[in-house]
Amino acid sequence: MIIVMKPNVNNQDINKVITLVEEHGLKTHLSTGDQITIIGVVGDKSKLLKCNIELLDGVEKIVPVTETYKLANKKFNMTSSVIKVRDVEIGNNNFVIMAGPCAIENEKQIIETAHAIKKSGASILRGGAYKPRTSPYSFQGLEEEGLKYMSKAREETGLPIVCEVTSLKSVETAYKYVDMFQIGARNMQNFYLLKEIGKTNTPVLLKRGLSATIDEWLNAAEYIMSEGNSNVVLCERGIRTFETATRNTLDISAIPIIKQKSHLPIIVDPSHATGKRAYVNPLSKASVAVGADGIMVEVHPNPSVALSDGPQSLPPKEFDALCNELRPFAKLVGKIL
Amino acid sequence: MIIVMKPNVNNQDINKVITLVEEHGLKTHLSTGDQITIIGVVGDKSKLLKCNIELLDGVEKIVPVTETYKLANKKFNMTSSVIKVRDVEIGNNNFVIMAGPCAIENEKQIIETAHAIKKSGASILRGGAYKPRTSPYSFQGLEEEGLKYMSKAREETGLPIVCEVTSLKSVETAYKYVDMFQIGARNMQNFYLLKEIGKTNTPVLLKRGLSATIDEWLNAAEYIMSEGNSNVVLCERGIRTFETATRNTLDISAIPIIKQKSHLPIIVDPSHATGKRAYVNPLSKASVAVGADGIMVEVHPNPSVALSDGPQSLPPKEFDALCNELRPFAKLVGKIL
Amino acid sequence: MIIVMKPNVNNQDINKVITLVEEHGLKTHLSTGDQITIIGVVGDKSKLLKCNIELLDGVEKIVPVTETYKLANKKFNMTSSVIKVRDVEIGNNNFVIMAGPCAIENEKQIIETAHAIKKSGASILRGGAYKPRTSPYSFQGLEEEGLKYMSKAREETGLPIVCEVTSLKSVETAYKYVDMFQIGARNMQNFYLLKEIGKTNTPVLLKRGLSATIDEWLNAAEYIMSEGNSNVVLCERGIRTFETATRNTLDISAIPIIKQKSHLPIIVDPSHATGKRAYVNPLSKASVAVGADGIMVEVHPNPSVALSDGPQSLPPKEFDALCNELRPFAKLVGKIL
Amino acid sequence: MIIVMKPNVNNQDINKVITLVEEHGLKTHLSTGDQITIIGVVGDKSKLLKCNIELLDGVEKIVPVTETYKLANKKFNMTSSVIKVRDVEIGNNNFVIMAGPCAIENEKQIIETAHAIKKSGASILRGGAYKPRTSPYSFQGLEEEGLKYMSKAREETGLPIVCEVTSLKSVETAYKYVDMFQIGARNMQNFYLLKEIGKTNTPVLLKRGLSATIDEWLNAAEYIMSEGNSNVVLCERGIRTFETATRNTLDISAIPIIKQKSHLPIIVDPSHATGKRAYVNPLSKASVAVGADGIMVEVHPNPSVALSDGPQSLPPKEFDALCNELRPFAKLVGKIL
C-alpha cells in the first residue's frame, strides 16, 4: 500500500501518518521528492482497516498494490485447479461443454435435449429451474418440479447437471438434486448467497456480474472459498457496455487475465454474451482458441417455442455441427473434447 | 411491438408471421416499402411470450414500443405517489434528508449521530447492519445487534429508521425493527428478495444497480409492487462508467427521467455516487435543484475511524452546514426542508 | 512513480531497476515486505520515457502518482483563471449563458435568435457552421457563409460569437470571424487541431470527448496551453454509458472534480448531454447549483424545423423562462447572471 | 421508420403527423391499439430531414428501422470486398498479418523489423510517423523523416507499408510514401479527415473509435466511401469499458457482426486492445478462429527501449513463434497465411 501525500504537506502531518501506521505494527518507507511525498507501507494491511488514513490531514490518496483475494489468487496457489463435477473434470487438458435449455419447460424437453447433447459431445447438462427475469411478468421457472426432470435426465444419460440458484431456499432444494450450483450474473455480489453455498461442498459455476471488474469477480469467488468450498469454476458471459448490437460484450481477454491471476478454471457462455444464435459458433471457436476450459451453450429442441431466450438457443442439429467444428480447435490447443 | 422483416422477405414468410400473431388474438398492420417491410402488432404482447417470433424465417428484429412495467408506470398512474415512513412523507413538496453512518458500529455511535442529524434537519436515520462488502475480509456488519441500537436511537429521537436487507433471513429479522427496508445496488436484481419484501407492507428504498438501465430499475420496482407493496422510493446512487475520478458516476438526469416515466418518488445518494466527502455538498445542491425528493447522506461522528466508507462520510458539523446551505435551494424549488 | 515488483523477485532484478532509474538522474526508495517489494521513484519522470521499465525482469506494474498535465493543473497555478471573450468574463463570479442554434441555417434565423437570447440574458451567441454529423448524408453546415451571418448577428447585438472548428482549414477561415473557437467532443483528441489553435490567442471552448476521462480532458487542454494559448474553458457535455434513456450521461460530478484539479473555468451543455428538450431546464438548474461557471444551451426560433438537433433545442420563449428561473439559483451560489 | 405516438393522443395530432409525412412523398401506415398508436413510415427518410417529427404534438418517439449507411452495407452489396494493398489482398481467403513498431524511431530499427517480420510471415509493414499521444510531453513521431525510413524498408523487403495520418497536412505528405493510410481510434469521427482521404484512392485502415458503436463505425466508413474511395478495411482495437485490467476491452463479437452487416474486410489489433504483450498471443488465435481477415501486431526489435507502447510490443522471436502458432488455426478456418 502506498500513501500519496498532498504537494505542500508539512512534516507534522507526515509524521502523524507514519506514527499511526507503525502503531498498528506495519513498516513505512518515506520517499520525499520535489513535487510529491509518498509513504510506502509494508505488512498486513487488514490491521489498518479501521484507520481511514485517507482522511488524515495531508493525505491525497491511497494506492493499493496487492489484491484482496488470497485463496483464489495464483500467487499463493500456483497449481491450476481441476474441479470435479461427478466424473467430469473441469480444468487441466479438458475442454468441457455444458449445454441445455435456458429454462426447463417439461420432462420431455429436458430428456430429449440431454440425449441429443450427450450424443454430440457435451458432458454436463444445464437447465434453468429458477429464472431471474427482468420483468415479473415473464416466465419464472418450474422450480423443484424442473429439478426433478433434470435428475431424471441425469439418470437416463449419466450427464451431471448444473442449475442456477437464486436464494437460500433454492439452494436447500437444489442441493438434493444438482451436481453443480450456478450463480448467475445478477447474483454475483449477493454475498449472503455466496457464503451459503460456500458452506456446501457442491461445485459452483460463478458467472461474472454484468458490470463486475475481474477483481470483484475474484473477490466473489473468495467469498465462496473462504467458507470452505474451493470447487469454483468461473464463467465469462459478457459485460455491459455502450454497444447495443449484442446483448452484452463478451470480454474475451478475461480468459488470459484469469489464467494469469488465478488458478481457477474458466469457461465462456457465448449464448448470453451475445443474445444471438448466429454469433454462438464463431465465439465458441474463439473461446477454444483463447484458452478457455470449456463453454456453456444454450440448446433447445425447438428454439422457436422456447419459454426463455429462444433467439440465442441452438437447435440440436446446429449444436452437433458446432461440436464437430470445435474438435480440431481443441486438438490444436492441446485439449481433449 | 413492431416486427421488422428482412430486406428480401417473401410473402409466405410474411403471412406466416401475421397468422401466428393473429392466432394469439392480436391485430397486425403490414407496411411494405421498397427497402423494408414492417408488421405493427397491437394488443396484449404477453400472449406472444411463447412464440419467439425473432426466430421465424424472414424476421430481422423485434422493436418493442411499450414498457414492461405497469404499476410503476406514470402512464397508468398519473398521480405522484407519496410514501409514508411513519410520520415522514416522501414525495409531494417535501425534501427529505436521510442521514447516518454507513455501518452501525456501537450504541453510542448511532445514538450520538441520530441526535446530531435530527438537530441539523434530517428526518430519517440510516445505518447499515448488514454490509455487502466486495471482500469477505472487510467488516460485515453487526446484524441484529445493530438493529437494536437503531431502534434505541429511534426511541430517543423519534426518527424513523432505514436499514439495508440482503437476504430473506435479514428481512425476517429487520422486519421487527425497521421502518423502511433498503435494497442495495448489488441486490437490485435479486428478484427473490424483491418478491419477499413485496409481500410486506414496509416502505422500501430501492437503489439503482451499478449497471442497471432506468428501465430495469423500474422493472425491479415492479417486482416489489406486483406482490402488493407499492411503497417504493427510488434512490439514484451512481452508475458504473469508465471514469475513475469518482467511485461511480452520478446520473443526475435519472431524476427528471424518472419523474417523467414513473409516479414514484426519487432521492439521491451523493455519498456512494462519488465516494469522496468533498463532492457531497455540491452534488446535494444539484440534487435539490434538479427536482429530487430528498437525499441520503453518510454522516459519522468521527469519519477517520469509521469501519466502512469513512472517506465519503461527513462529520456532524459539515452535515449541519450542508443542511443550512440546502434550505434556500429547497425553498427555490418549492420544497419544504 | 511507484514500481511494484513481482512476488518472488530476486535481488539482482531489483538492483537492475534501481540502477537504471538512478542512471537517469532520479532517486529511488526501496520498500521490502513479506509479500511485496516496491520501489518509489522521485524526480523528473520524463527522463525515463525511453526506459519501458514495465518490461524489465521482475517488474509487475508501474503506478503513477502525479498527473502528466502541468499548465492546466491547479497544483501549479492556484488562482482560478478568468477567460475573456471580448468583454465577457468566464470564471470568477460570473455565470455565463451561451445560446443559439445547433446549426446556422440562414441570416434571418441567426439574427432573430441573437436578439432573442440577448434579451433573455445570454451573453455569448453560439452557432454551428461546420457540423460533424455521424452520417455523411446529414446536413453538414453552411461553412464560411454561416460565419458571415454570425458576424452580422454580433454587429447587431454586440454579443461575442463561438463556433466549432473541425480542421486547420476551418480554423484559418473562422479565425477572421469568431471570438471563441469550440472544439467538439469528437475532436477532443484531434491533437493536431489542438496544437494549431494553441498557436492562436483566440479563447477556446474545449468539450469533453464522448469517452474521455477527466485526466485525458485536462491533457487535451494541456496540448492547447503548451503551444502558448492559455485561454481555455472546459465544457462537460455528457459521456457515453450503457444508459439509453438519454443521448449521453451528464457527468455532473465533473464540475467539482475540475474545480479541484484545475484552475480553468468549466461550463455545462445540458442540450447535448441529454438530447431532449424536457431535461434542459432541470439540468441547467443543477449546473448552477453544483458550481459551474456557465451553460451552453441550444435555442432555435422554431425547433420543429431545425436542420440539426431540433429535439433538444428550446424555443426562445422557453429559453427566456429558463433564464428567469436560473437567476435566483445563481444568486444563491454567489454568482452574477 | 416508426413513429410512436403518446398514449392519449388525439386524432387531430395523428392526422397532422400523417399529413406532414405524406406531403414529403412518403407513405404511412397507421396502427391503433388500446394502449398505443404507431405510424409506420415507408420511403426515402432523407426527405424528412428537416421535419423534426419528434417535436410535433402527440409524438412520443421515433424508432429507426434501417441503417443510415448504404455503400458499406451488405444489404446493398452482397459480395465480400477484397482490398488490394499493392500485391497483398485483404479479404477473401487470406489471413493478413501487419506488423511493425508503434513508432518509427530510426532507419535501422524499421529496416531490421521489416526483415524480421517478413521472414516470419507478415505481409504488410506498419510503423507510426505521426503519433497521437494523450500527453503533449510524450514522443510525437518523426513525421516525414519516418516515412522515408518506411519507404526504404519497403524497397529492401518489398512489403507494402501502412502509416497513420492525423491531419490533411500529414495526408498530403504521407500520400507520396505509403500504400495504406491508417485512421486511428481518436480520429474515427474526424469527418473532415475522412472526407479528405475519401478523395484519394489509397486503401484505408479504419480503426474503431474508443467508444464508437458498430453503427457509427460503419457510418465513418461511409464518409470515406461516399467521396469515392471504397478501399476500406476495418480494424477492431478494443473499446472503452469500466474494466481496468486491460487498456481497452477487445470486442471480439464485432467481427461476426461486421461480417453480417457489411461487405468490408475486418482485422483485429490485439496489441492496442489489451496494452499487454502477454495477451497478444491468445487474442491473435481467437481472432483467427472468430473469422477475422487479419491482425495488426506491434513488433519492436527491443521492446524495453521502445519510444512508444513498449509494454505491448513483441520482440521478433516471440512474433515468429506467434506466426507459426497461428498457421494451423488459419488452415482450420480455411484461410491462407
Q: How many other C-beta atoms can be found within 10 angstroms of the C-beta atom of residue C83?
A: 21
**Domain end residue (candidates: C63, C91, C111):** C63
Which chain A residues are Cβ-neighbours of C29 within 8 angstroms? 29-31, 40
Is A29 an interface residue toward B (CB < 8 Å)? Answer: no
One domain, residues A56 and A121: no
Cβ contact (<8 Å) for C169 and D169? no
User: What is d(CA D56, CA D303) in angstroms, rounded to the nearest whole number?
Assistant: 60
Contacts of C290 (CB under 8 A, 6+ apart): B282, B283, B285, B286, B289, C252, C255, C256
Q: Residue B204's pLDDT is what?
A: 98
Which chain B residues are Cβ-neighbours of C288 within 8 angstroms? 289
Among D42, D78, D261, the residue to mutate for chain B (most B Cβ within 10 A): D42
C34: pLDDT strictly greater than 70 = no
User: What is d(CA B213, CA D64) in angstroms, rounded to the nearest whole number?
Assistant: 21
Please state, in angstroms and as integers, the Cα–Cα distance from residue B239 to each residue in B59, B208, B294, C284, following that order. 34, 8, 19, 21
Cell of A19: 506514527
One domain, residues D51 and D122: no
One domain, residues D248 and D305: yes
> For B332, which of C251, C252, C329 is closest by C-beta distance?
C329
One domain, residues B56 and B160: no
Cβ contact (<8 Å) for D2 and B38? yes
Is B138 an interface residue toward A (CB < 8 Å)? Answer: yes
A70 occurs within a structural domain: no
Cβ contact (<8 Å) for C167 and D168? yes
| Helix D191-198 vs helix D214-225: crossing angle, to nearest 10 | 40
> For B132, which of A132, A191, A304 is closest by C-beta distance?
A191
Q: Among all chains, which residue has been given the C-alpha cell 479541484?
A: C260
One domain, residues A159 and A36: no
C205: pLDDT strictly greater than 80 = yes
Among A69, A186, A194, A225, the residue to mutate for chain B (most B Cβ within 10 A): A186
Cβ contact (<8 Å) for D31 and B38? no
Cβ contact (<8 Å) for C51 and D139? no
One domain, residues C245 and C297: yes
A73 occurs within a structural domain: no
D252 Cα to chain A: minimum distance (Å): 7
Q: Residue D1's pLDDT is what?
A: 79
One domain, residues A139 and A229: yes
Which chain B residues are Cβ-neighbours of C249 within 8 angstroms? 239, 241, 249, 251, 253
Residue numbers of chain B with a pLDDT score lower than 50: none
Cβ contact (<8 Å) for B65 and D4? yes
A68 occurs within a structural domain: no
One domain, residues C59 and C96: no
pLDDT tens digit sequence for C236-251: 999 999 999 999 999 9
Cβ contact (<8 Å) for A256 and D239? no
Is A249 an interface residue toward B (CB < 8 Å)? Answer: no
Q: Residue C5's pLDDT is what?
A: 86
C71 occurs within a structural domain: no
Which chain A residues are Cβ-neighbours of B57 within 8 angstroms? none
Q: Residue A55's pLDDT is what?
A: 79
One domain, residues B42 and B151: no
Q: How many other C-beta atoms can be found within 10 angstroms of the C-beta atom of residue D112?
A: 17
Domain count, chain A: 2
- CATH number of the domain residue C243 falls in: 3.20.20.70
Phi, psi of D71 (to 5 degrees): -65, -30
User: What is d(CA D80, CA C245) in angstroms, rounded to the nearest whole number?
Assistant: 36
Give residue C238's domain range: 83-332
C307: pLDDT strictly greater than 80 = no
**Are the C-beta atoms of A143 and A130 separated by less than 8 Å?**
yes
One domain, residues A114 and A251: yes
Angle at A36 between CA A30 and CA A37, to 5 degrees: 20
Which chain D residues are Cβ-neighbours of C210 within 8 angstroms? 211
Interface of B with A in 152-211 (CB under 8 A): 166-170, 186-187, 189-193, 195, 210-211
Q: D204: alpha, beta or left, given left = phi > 0 and alpha = psi -120 to 50?
A: beta
Is D239 an interface residue toward A (CB < 8 Å)? Answer: yes
Write down which chains contact chain B via at least 3 CB pairs under 8 A.
A, C, D
Which chain C residues are Cβ-neighbours of B286 within 8 angstroms? 252, 286-287, 289-290
Cβ contact (<8 Å) for A255 and D329? no
Q: Residue B34's pLDDT is what?
A: 67
Which chain C residues are Cβ-neighbours of A65 within 8 angstroms? 2, 4, 36, 38, 63
Phi, psi of C306 (to 5 degrees): -65, 145
Cell of B224: 416489489
**Are the C-beta atoms of D191 and C166 separated by less than 8 Å?**
yes
Cβ contact (<8 Å) for B36 and D27? no
pLDDT tens digit sequence for A7-56: 778 899 999 999 999 988 888 888 777 667 888 887 777 778 667 788 78
Q: Residue D39's pLDDT is what?
A: 86
Task: Report the half-sphere exposure of C11 (CA within 13 A, side-chain side).
Answer: 0
pLDDT tens digit sequence for D45-99: 777 866 778 878 888 888 877 788 999 999 888 899 999 999 999 999 999 999 9
CA torsion D306-D312-D314-D315 (nearest 10°) is: 30
One domain, residues A217 and A99: yes
Instruction: Please tell me what DSSP assigns to residue D315.
Output: P
User: What is d(CA C90, CA C48) in angstroms, rounded to the nearest whole number?
Assistant: 38
A78 occurs within a structural domain: no
Angle at B84 between CA B80 and CA B89, to 5 degrees: 70
User: What is d(CA B222, CA B204) in angstroms, rounded to the nearest whole number?
Assistant: 12
| Helix A191-198 vs helix A214-225: crossing angle, to nearest 10 | 40
Sign of CA dihedral A314, A319, A325, A331: positive
**Domain end residue (candidates: C11, C34, C63):** C63
B337 occurs within a structural domain: no
- CATH number of the domain residue B30 falls in: 3.30.70.1140
A74 occurs within a structural domain: no
C308: pLDDT strictly greater than 80 = no
For A61-75, A306-320, D25-39, D200-214, which range has the lowest pLDDT when averaged over its residues?
Answer: D25-39
Interface of A with D in 253-282 (CB under 8 A): 253-257, 260, 273-274, 278-279, 282
Contacts of B153 (CB under 8 A, 6+ apart): B110, B111, B113, B114, B125, B127, B159, B161
Cβ contact (<8 Å) for B256 and C279? yes
Query: At B158, which amino acid appears?
Result: G
Q: Residue C37's pLDDT is what?
A: 82
Q: Residue C238's pLDDT is what?
A: 97
Which chain B residues are Cβ-neighbours of A304 within 8 angstroms? 51-52, 55-56
A77 occurs within a structural domain: no
Residue numbers of chain A with a pLDDT score lower than 50: none
Q: Among all chains, which residue has been given the C-alpha cell 444464435?
A: A277
Please report which residue ranges of chain A form alpha helices under DSSP H.
11-23, 107-120, 144-157, 168-174, 191-198, 214-225, 254-261, 270-274, 280-290, 316-332
D74 Cα to chain C: minimum distance (Å): 17
pLDDT tens digit sequence for A133-154: 888 887 788 999 999 999 999 9
CA torsion A297-A300-A301-A305 (nearest 10°) is: -160
pLDDT tens digit sequence for C94-129: 999 999 999 999 999 999 999 999 999 999 999 999
Is C223 an interface residue toward D (CB < 8 Å)? Answer: yes
Q: Which long-range contacts (CB under 8 A, 24 or more apart) does C144-149 make?
A: C144/C173, C146/C103, C146/C104, C146/C110, C147/C173, C147/C174, C147/C177, C147/C178, C148/C177, C149/C104, C149/C106, C149/C107, C149/C110, C149/C111
DSSP E strands, A33-111? 37-42, 59-63, 83-85, 88-90, 96-100
One domain, residues A9 and A129: no
> For C213, which of B244, B251, B274 is closest by C-beta distance?
B244
Cβ contact (<8 Å) for B278 and C286? no
Cell of D334: 480455411
